[in-house]
């Protein structure tokens, strides 16, 4: 087992090194002494620890761990470097890349010992924030996972989640550790949460060196998450793959307390019916499951989706109420409940549900867009503008919302707020992308009459 999976594959996400400036900084401070046994080519730049950190970061992203380590160690010989927790973190990553996991943990410990408010050696702003520490706890946890110290790894990953609960990779690695401890139901919940928070991430590929080929639980977690996301075909494929692995590994028992395997397969049959549009059959299936397992959130979730598809909104809201009472920390239930409330024109309740989803997930394009729709309907144009702007900057998790429609919503809200020049600029962007956008053309006419 090697941590290479995390160090190498996660770097393109720009999280571990999110604060680093990868350009050339020219510091005017005098050179500092360093060991002749280490080399780090910073060209003609001054021998400032910030320049060595930047050079090491570049090498780290290229997977040149030995070169990166040399640069970081030179930087750490300077007192200014030793006060930078991000430098210690990157030093740990280089050590982990070289499979020196105990030393990596020691470096992460040094990062965690530095209090928020400190300075990064390669930039003056921003200062070290409390939220930054979730990455260092996470990296420490993955090193412990490499060392097969699974219980300790979970403790560190939980520390990371206390700081930032909406980072999917932490949940996924937590699931890996739980699986190794044979805590399968807990692993399933962690896997499901990871996919819900980042449904387009190829977790298994990025964690392949940690991953056990016997781990069918990860596919069941994916299936449950994709069902909640409304991606029923993806859910069915994930379940079928997991089932094949499960049948070949009967010694791994996932279902021990809440439900049995037959109930779970009945649930998946209900998802099949839901995907095919056979709503009466799917509703009957989920009702049968709930009759014997009244606290089984998956069945309530799928029942609510079925009722929503049938436009039986009041019943769907009650079903989502059950979902959010059973799993109050699951953002997806709150988001979907908000959608049903919005369709029922219960706007204030919908906004409350959306806000709960945002607080649990960190926000995503669809929830901000839907908030914008409500604010616009209520004539709260400034709030609508803010919501649409946030939607345009956020990641898309669910689909179903086209960016061009968010752009149009922003243009219409700007018009409603009397900000006509901005509205005109925005609607022209819409029409450039889609010249026959009917609402955009109508808004252009209105704007011409006032400009």
List the chain domain ranges: 1-165, 167-257, 268-356, 363-451
Nearest Cα residue to 23 out of 123, 170, 116: 123
CATH architecture for the domain at 167-257: Alpha Horseshoe (1.25)
CATH 1.25.40.10 for domain 1-165? yes
Sign of CA dihedral 197, 201, 202, 207: negative
Determine the angle formed by the axes of helices 101-113 and 85-97, rounding to 10 degrees: 170
Sign of CA dihedral 222, 223, 229, 232: positive
Amino acid 284: pLDDT: 97
First-to-last C-alpha distance (Å) of the chain: 65
Question: What's 268-356's CATH class?
Answer: mainly alpha
Chunked in runs of 10, what are the mean pLDDT values of the chain (451 residues)?
Answer: 35 34 32 54 87 93 94 94 95 95 97 93 89 95 95 98 92 94 92 92 67 77 94 93 84 66 89 96 97 94 97 98 96 97 98 97 95 98 98 88 95 97 97 96 94 86
Amino acid 257: pLDDT: 55
* DSSP category for residue 299: H
Render 223-243 in DSSP notation, one character per residue.
HHHHHHTT-HHHHHHHHHHHH
Cα distance between residue 167 and residue 130, in whole Å:
15
Cβ atoms within 10 A of the Cβ of 18, count?
Answer: 10
Cα distance between residue 335 and residue 358, in whole Å:
8
Is the bond leading into 126 cis (omega within 30 degrees of zero)?
yes
Amino acid 42: pLDDT: 86
Same fold, 1-165 and 167-257: yes
Amino acid 22: pLDDT: 30
CATH 3.30.1600.10 for domain 363-451? no
């Amino acid at each position: 087992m090697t941590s290479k999976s995390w160090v190498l594959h996660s770097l393109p996400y720009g999280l571990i090194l999110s604060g680093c400036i990868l350009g050339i900084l020219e510091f005017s401070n005098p050179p500092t002494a360093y060991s002749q046994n280490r080399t780090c080519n910073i060209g003609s730049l001054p021998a400032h620890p910030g320049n060595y950190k930047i050079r090491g970061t570049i090498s780290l992203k290229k997977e040149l761990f030995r070169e990166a380590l040399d640069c970081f160690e030179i930087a750490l010989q300077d007192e200014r470097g030793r006060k930078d927790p991000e430098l210690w973190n990157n030093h740990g990553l280089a050590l982990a890349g070289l499979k020196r996991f105990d030393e990596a943990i020691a470096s992460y410990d040094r990062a965690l010992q530095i209090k928020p408010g400190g300075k990064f050696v390669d930039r003056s702003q921003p200062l070290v924030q409390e939220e930054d520490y979730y990455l260092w706890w996470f990296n420490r946890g993955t090193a412990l996972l490499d060392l097969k110290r699974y219980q300790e790894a979970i403790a560190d990953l939980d520390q990371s989640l206390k700081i930032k609960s909406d980072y999917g990779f932490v949940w996924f690695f937590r699931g890996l550790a739980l699986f190794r401890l044979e805590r399968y139901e807990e692993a399933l919940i962690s896997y499901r949460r990871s996919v819900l928070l980042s449904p387009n991430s190829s977790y298994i590929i990025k964690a392949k060196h940690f991953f056990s080929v016997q781990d069918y639980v990860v596919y069941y977690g994916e299936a449950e998450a994709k069902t909640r996301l409304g991606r029923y075909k993806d859910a069915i494929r994930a379940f079928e793959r997991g089932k094949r692995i499960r049948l070949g590994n009967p010694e791994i028992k996932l279902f021990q307390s809440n439900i049995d395997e037959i109930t779970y397969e009945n649930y998946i049959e209900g998802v099949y019916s839901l995907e095919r549009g056979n709503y009466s059959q799917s509703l009957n299936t989920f009702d049968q499951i709930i009759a014997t397992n009244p606290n089984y959130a998956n069945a309530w979730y799928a029942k609510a989706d079925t009722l929503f598809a049938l436009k039986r909104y009041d019943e769907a809201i009650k079903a989502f109420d059950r979902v959010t009472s059973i799993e109050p920390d699951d953002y997806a239930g709150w988001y979907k409940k908000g959608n049903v409330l919005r369709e029922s024109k219960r706007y204030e309740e919908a906004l409350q549900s959306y806000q709960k989803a945002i607080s649990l997930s960190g926000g995503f394009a669809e929830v901000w867009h839907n908030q914008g729709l409500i604010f616009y309907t209520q004539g709260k144009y400034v709030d609508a503008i803010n919501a649409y702007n946030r939607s345009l900057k956020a990641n898309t998790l669910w689909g179903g919302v086209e960016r061009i429609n968010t752009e149009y919503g922003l243009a219409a809200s700007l018009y409603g707020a009397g900000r006509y020049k901005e509205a005109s600029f925005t609607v022209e962007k819409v029409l450039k992308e889609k010249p026959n956008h009917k609402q955009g053309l109508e808004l252009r006419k209105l704007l011409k009459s006032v400009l």
